[in-house]
Structure 1
Amino acid sequence: MSTAISPRCLLRLCGFLVFILGTAFNTPVHSQQPTKPGDVSLILDVRGIPGAVEDISFCPNGTMLAACGEQEVRIWDTQTGRHLRTLRGEIGANGEGDCLSVAFSHDNCDLVVGIRDAKGKGALRVYDVRHIAEIDSLIEGFSAPVTDLAFSLNGRFLAVACADGSLSIYDWPLRQIVGTAAAGAFPVGTFETISFPLDESLLLAYGPAGTTILSVPGCQALPANSELPERLKTWVQKASDISQSFGNEFASCDWRFDQEIWLAYGKSEGQPTYWAGCWRGTNATPQFVYAGHQNVVTAIALSGDCKLSASGDRRGEVHVWDTETGAPIYILKGVSRPIYRAALDAKSRRLGFTHQPTQSSWNRYGEIDRAFDFANRIVTSAAADAFLAGERTTGNGRLLATYYQETYGVRFFWPRGGATDFALGDDVTPTCFSLLQSERNGIDFPTIIGDKSGGLTLFDPATAEPQSKYVGHRSFITSLCESEDGRCFTSSSMDGTVRFWSLESSGSPIEPFLSLLLGEHGEWIAWTPEGYYDAAPGCGDLVAWHVNRGRDRSASCYPLHQFRDQLYRPDIIQFVLRSANVQTAIAEVARITNQVAVDPARPITADTAQPITTPVPITTDFRKPQTMQKMHPPRIRLVSPQDGAVVSEGQVHVLAEIVAENDMPIQDVRILVNGRPGSGKGIEVLGPGETNDGRVSFSRAVSLLPGENQITLMAGNSVAHSNPVTVSVRYDAPADVLNAKPNLHLLSVGISEYKDPQLNLRYAHLDAESFAAAWDNQRGAVYQQLTENLLTNAEATGDHIQSAMSQLAENVDQRDVAVIFISAHGIRDRQLEYYLAPHEVEPDNLSATGLHFSAIAQLLESLPCKVLLFVDTCHAAGITGAKSIWRDPLYELTSEEYGTIVFASSLSREISVEDEAWGHGAFTKAILATFEDKAADLDDDGFLSLTEFEQSVGERVAEMTQGQQHPVMKRPATIHNIPFYRIATP
Structure 2
Amino acid sequence: MKNRLLLVGLLLAWLISACNTVPPTPDPAQSPIADATRTAADGQPILQIDSGGHMAIIKNIFFTHDGKMLISASNDKTVRVWDITSGKTIRILRGQIGPGVEGKIYAAALSPDDRWLALGGWFIREDNSYIRLIDLLSGQVVRLLKGHRNVIQSLAFSADSRRLVSGSADTTARIWDVASGASLHTLNGHRNAIYAVAFSPDGRLTVTGSDDHSLKLWDSATGKQLADLHGHTDKVRSVAFTPDGRYLLSGSWDQTIRLWNSQTGAANKVLARQDATVDHLSIAPDGSKVLTGAGYGQKINNVFAIPSGERLASFSGHQNVVVATAISPDGKTAATGDGDSHEIYLWDIHTGTIQQHLIGRGELIWSIGFADDGRSITWGKTWSQESLLRKGEVEHSFQLKDAVGNFSLALGKLIGSTAQSDSRFLHAIGTAGAISVGTASGQRDATLQIKKNGRVLHTVTRDGTNGYFHQSITLTPDGRTVVSGSGNGNITAYDTASGRKLRDFIGHTGDVWAVAPSPDGRLLVSGSGDQTVRLWEIASGKLLLTIFHGNDGEWVAWTEDGFYTASAKGDAYVGYHINRGDGQAADYVGLDQIGRHFYRPDLVAKTVQGGHEREIAAELARIGSIDQLIANGLPPEVRVLNASGETSNERNFTLEVALKPMSGGIGTIRYFVNGAEIASATARSGEAPPGMRRSGVIKDDERYAAKPLTLPDGANEITVVACNQNDTICSREIKLTRSVHDPRNRQPSLHILAVGIANYRDRDLHLKFAGNDAKALSTRLQQQAQGLYRVVHTPVVLLDKDATAEKIEQAFDGIAKRIEPNDVFVLFMAGHGMAWQGDYHFIPWEALYENTETLVKASLSQEKLAALLKRIPTSKSLIILDSCSAGQLAADFAEGKQFAMLTRGGIGDKSAIDRLMRATGRYVLAATTEKQQALEGHDQHGVFTWALLEGLKGHASRPGSNDGSISLDELADYVREQVPKITQQKWGFEQIPMRLIQGDSFPITCKAGYEKPGCKP
Of residues 95-104 and 327-336 in structure 1, the stretch that sits farther from structure 2 once superposed is 327-336
Q: Which residue of 2 aligns with 1:714?
A: 722
The question of whether the paired residues in 2 share the 8 Å contact of 1:196 and 1:202 is answered with yes
Q: What are the within-5 Å matches in structure 2 for residues 702-851 of structure 1?
A: 713-716=721-724, 718=726, 720-724=728-732, 758-759=769-770, 825=830, 828-829=833-834, 831=836, 834=840
The one-letter code of the counterpart of 1:254 is: S
Are 2:512 and 1:477 equivalent residues in the alignment? yes
Q: What are the within-5 Å matches in structure 2 for residues 257-268 of structure 1?
A: 257-258=285-286, 260=288, 262-266=290-294
Q: What are the within-5 Å matches in structure 2 for residues 271-310 of structure 1?
A: 297-306=322-331, 310=335
In terms of Rg, which structure is larger? Answer: 2
Partner SS state of residue 857, structure 1: helix
Deviation per CA, 1:492-544: give whole Å up to 9, x if none. Answer: 22222232333333xxxx54133333333443333222222222333334443
The question of whether the paired residues in 2 share the 8 Å contact of 1:403 and 1:409 is answered with no
Match of 1:430 among 458, 461, 470: 470
Q: 2: CA distance between counterparts of 1:700 and 1:207? A: 57
Alpha carbons of structure 1 residues 345 and 408: separation in structure 2 relative to 1, 3 Å: same
Structure 1 residue 32: Cα displacement: 1.6
Structure 1 residue 900: Cα displacement: 4.0
Q: Which residue of 2 aligns with 1:502?
A: 537
Alpha carbons of structure 1 residues 923 and 633: separation in structure 2 relative to 1, 3 Å: farther
Q: Which residue of 2 aligns with 1:512?
A: 543
Alpha carbons of structure 1 residues 833 and 57: separation in structure 2 relative to 1, 3 Å: same
Q: Which residue of 2 aligns with 1:5?
A: none
Structure 1 residue 902: Cα displacement: 4.9
Structure 1 residue 105: Cα displacement: 2.5
Are 2:162 and 1:124 equivalent residues in the alignment? no
Alpha carbons of structure 1 residues 901 and 828: separation in structure 2 relative to 1, 3 Å: closer
Structure 1 residue 177: Cα displacement: 3.5
Q: Which residue of 2 aligns with 1:342?
A: 368
Alpha carbons of structure 1 residues 869 and 748: separation in structure 2 relative to 1, 3 Å: same
> TM-score w.r.t. structure 1 length?
0.70
The question of whether the paired residues in 2 share the 8 Å contact of 1:953 and 1:967 is answered with no
Q: Which residue of 2 aligns with 1:75?
A: 81
Alpha carbons of structure 1 residues 751 and 17: separation in structure 2 relative to 1, 3 Å: farther
Q: Which residue of 1 aligns with 2:986?
A: none
Q: 2: CA distance between counterparts of 1:261 and 1:955? A: 60
Q: Which residue of 2 aligns with 1:409?
A: 447
Match of 1:577 among 608, 627, 630: 608
Deviation per CA, 1:358-394: give whole Å up to 9, x if none. Answer: 2152332122333211235332234333233423356
Structure 1 residue 473: Cα displacement: 0.6
Alpha carbons of structure 1 residues 862 and 851: separation in structure 2 relative to 1, 3 Å: same
Structure 1 residue 95: Cα displacement: 0.4
Structure 1 residue 401: Cα displacement: 2.0
Alpha carbons of structure 1 residues 531 and 635: separation in structure 2 relative to 1, 3 Å: closer
Q: What are the within-5 Å matches in structure 2 for residues 473-552 of structure 1?
A: 473-505=508-540, 510-552=541-583
Q: What are the within-5 Å matches in structure 2 for residues 68-217 of structure 1?
A: 68-69=73-74, 70-81=76-87, 83-119=89-125, 121-132=128-139, 134-162=140-168, 167-181=173-187, 191=195, 200-201=203-204, 217=220
The question of whether the paired residues in 2 share the 8 Å contact of 1:670 and 1:714 is answered with yes
Alpha carbons of structure 1 residues 856 and 549: separation in structure 2 relative to 1, 3 Å: same
The one-letter code of the counterpart of 1:58 is: F
Structure 1 residue 455: Cα displacement: 0.7
Q: 2: CA distance between counterparts of 1:923 and 1:231? A: 79
Q: What are the within-5 Å matches in structure 2 for residues 621-770 of structure 1?
A: 621-622=625-626, 628-629=627-628, 632-636=631-635, 638=637, 654-658=657-661, 667-670=667-670, 687=686, 698-701=703-706, 713-716=721-724, 718=726, 720-724=728-732, 758-759=769-770
Q: 1: CA distance between counterparts of 2:628 and 2:144? A: 25
Q: Which residue of 2 aligns with 1:255?
A: 283
Match of 1:387 among 388, 401, 425: 425
Alpha carbons of structure 1 residues 858 and 470: separation in structure 2 relative to 1, 3 Å: same
Structure 1 residue 558: Cα displacement: 3.1
Structure 1 residue 184: Cα displacement: 5.0
The question of whether the paired residues in 2 share the 8 Å contact of 1:211 and 1:236 is answered with no
Q: Which residue of 2 aligns with 1:317?
A: 343
Q: What are the within-5 Å matches in structure 2 for residues 880-959 of structure 1?
A: 884-886=907-909, 888=911, 892=915, 900=921, 902=923, 920-921=950-951
Match of 1:453 among 488, 492, 502: 488
Q: 2: CA distance between counterparts of 1:255 and 1:122? A: 29
Partner SS state of residue 716, structure 1: coil
The one-letter code of the counterpart of 2:71 is: A
Q: 1: CA distance between counterparts of 2:335 and 2:786? A: 47
Gaps of 5+ in 1: 1-10, 440-444, 594-612, 623-627, 690-694, 777-785, 934-943, 972-976
Structure 1 residue 490: Cα displacement: 2.6
Q: What are the within-5 Å matches in structure 2 for residues 962-981 of structure 1?
A: none
The one-letter code of the counterpart of 1:829 is: M
> TM-score w.r.t. structure 2 length?
0.68
Structure 1 residue 699: Cα displacement: 2.7
Q: Which residue of 2 aligns with 1:365?
A: 391
Q: Which residue of 2 aligns with 1:8?
A: none
Partner SS state of residue 458, structure 1: strand
The question of whether the paired residues in 1 share the 8 Å contact of 2:290 and 2:304 is answered with yes
Alpha carbons of structure 1 residues 589 and 310: separation in structure 2 relative to 1, 3 Å: same
Alpha carbons of structure 1 residues 504 and 765: separation in structure 2 relative to 1, 3 Å: same
Deviation per CA, 1:824-878: give whole Å up to 9, x if none. Answer: 758523647546899x99999999999765466336657888x465555469999
Q: 1: CA distance between counterparts of 2:304 and 2:1001? A: 39
Alpha carbons of structure 1 residues 17 and 129: separation in structure 2 relative to 1, 3 Å: closer
The question of whether the paired residues in 2 share the 8 Å contact of 1:638 and 1:725 is answered with no
The one-letter code of the counterpart of 2:602 is: D
The question of whether the paired residues in 2 share the 8 Å contact of 1:394 and 1:435 is answered with yes
Partner SS state of residue 453, structure 1: helix
The question of whether the paired residues in 1 share the 8 Å contact of 2:969 and 2:1001 is answered with no
Q: 1: CA distance between counterparts of 2:674 and 2:169? A: 44
Alpha carbons of structure 1 residues 407 and 399: separation in structure 2 relative to 1, 3 Å: closer
Partner SS state of residue 367, structure 1: coil
Are 2:91 and 1:53 equivalent residues in the alignment? no
The one-letter code of the counterpart of 2:64 is: C
Q: 2: CA distance between counterparts of 1:369 and 1:657? A: 45
Q: 1: CA distance between counterparts of 2:117 and 2:244? A: 32
Of residues 254-263 and 214-223 in structure 1, the stretch that sits farther from structure 2 once superposed is 214-223
Partner SS state of residue 257, structure 1: coil
Q: 1: CA distance between counterparts of 2:117 and 2:716? A: 26
Q: Which residue of 1 aligns with 2:613?
A: 586
Alpha carbons of structure 1 residues 539 and 638: separation in structure 2 relative to 1, 3 Å: closer
Alpha carbons of structure 1 residues 805 and 512: separation in structure 2 relative to 1, 3 Å: same
The question of whether the paired residues in 2 share the 8 Å contact of 1:243 and 1:250 is answered with no
Structure 1 residue 431: Cα displacement: 0.8
Partner SS state of residue 462, structure 2: coil
Alpha carbons of structure 1 residues 696 and 755: separation in structure 2 relative to 1, 3 Å: farther
Gaps of 5+ in 2: 1-13, 233-239, 259-268, 402-407, 689-699, 760-767, 886-900, 934-941, 982-989, 1004-1013
Are 2:48 and 1:43 equivalent residues in the alignment? yes
The question of whether the paired residues in 1 share the 8 Å contact of 2:129 and 2:146 is answered with yes
Match of 1:377 among 392, 401, 409: 409
Q: Which residue of 1 aligns with 2:985?
A: none
Of residues 45-54 and 323-332 in structure 1, the stretch that sits farther from structure 2 once superposed is 323-332
Alpha carbons of structure 1 residues 190 and 766: separation in structure 2 relative to 1, 3 Å: farther
Please provide the CA RMSD for this pair: 6.2
Structure 1 residue 557: Cα displacement: 3.1
Q: 1: CA distance between counterparts of 2:971 and 2:355? A: 25
Partner SS state of residue 612, structure 2: helix
The question of whether the paired residues in 2 share the 8 Å contact of 1:24 and 1:315 is answered with no
The one-letter code of the counterpart of 1:55 is: N
Alpha carbons of structure 1 residues 448 and 124: separation in structure 2 relative to 1, 3 Å: same
